[in-house]
């Protein structure tokens, strides 16, 4: 497992994480492209995904609900976006914005984020087959600083992805 949070020649802030997974590239692709798999691993530790609507094709929409437990009860965060590139099984690019439950994009300030946080960010997933038949994953989230809570969330999410892939690969 390798985690990298420094972008290569990037002018915008970005989280860049890399992992080498002991699973075939088709299985890893399905973790990103099939809602049942995505919902099982996405989000930080303790988060659940009650809604994962994903039309994985160029210009297809996505709508994700992430729920976390707080002392005041469950809190839901909604994300919407659009698929920009779909190159099965090696590359997936989509946008992401914070939204309300109806899918209306919310400003970062409305969610308590800094004014400098962009309204729309971009996630780039790149998969390559390793020499031993596993898969190298490189995930870049453009617009999210490497030292942000979002980076920590992605690290936890990829830990969950790694565990899910291990369970599915056996």
Annotated domain spans of the chain: 14-169
Tens-of-pLDDT digits for all 170 residues of the chain?
334 444 455 578 999 999 999 999 999 999 999 999 999 999 999 999 999 999 999 999 999 999 999 999 999 999 999 999 999 999 999 999 999 999 999 988 887 777 778 999 999 999 999 999 999 999 999 999 898 888 999 999 999 999 999 998 76
pLDDT at 120: 95
Distances (CA, A) of 130 to 5, 31, 96, 97: 21, 18, 29, 32
pLDDT at 9: 52
pLDDT at 108: 82
Q: Cβ neighbours of residue 76 under 8 Å, at least 6 residues apart?
A: 50, 65, 66, 67, 101
- Characterize the bridge pairing of strands 73-87 and 121-129: unpaired
Please, what's the b/e burial string for 104-143 (b: 16 or more CB within 10 A of its CB; e: otherwise)? eebebeeeebeeebeeebbbbbebeeeeeebbbbbbbbbb
Class level of CATH domain 14-169: alpha beta
Q: Which of 163, 143, 136, 30 is nearest to 81 (CA)?
A: 143
Conformation bin of residue 59: beta by default, left when phi > 0, alpha when psi is -120 to 50: left
Q: Is 89 helix (H, G, I), strand (E, B) or coil?
A: coil
Environment class of 47 (CB within 10 Å of its CB; exposed 0-12, middle 13-18, buried 19+):
middle
Q: CA–CA separation, 35 vs 38, rounded Å?
A: 5
The dihedral through the CA atoms of 121, 79, 154, 146 has a sign that is: positive
């Amino acid at each position: 497992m390798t985690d990298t949070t420094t972008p290569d020649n990037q002018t915008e802030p970005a989280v860049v994480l890399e992992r080498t997974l002991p699973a075939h590239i088709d299985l890893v692709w399905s973790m990103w492209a099939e809602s049942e798999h995505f919902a099982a691993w996405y989000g930080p530790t303790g988060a659940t995904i009650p809604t994962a609507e994903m039309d994985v094709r160029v210009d297809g929409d996505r709508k994700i609900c992430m729920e976390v437990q707080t002392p005041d009860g469950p809190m839901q965060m909604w994300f919407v976006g659009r698929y920009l590139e779909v190159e099965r099984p090696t590359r997936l690019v989509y946008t992401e914005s914070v939204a309300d439950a109806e899918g209306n994009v919310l400003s970062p300030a409305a969610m308590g984020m800094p004014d400098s946080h962009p309204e729309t960010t971009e996630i780039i997933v790149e998969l390559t087959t390793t020499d031993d038949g596993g898969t190298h994953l490189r995930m870049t989230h453009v617009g999210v600083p490497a030292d942000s809570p979002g980076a920590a969330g992605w690290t936890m999410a990829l830990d969950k992805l790694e565990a899910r892939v291990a369970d599915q690969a056996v």
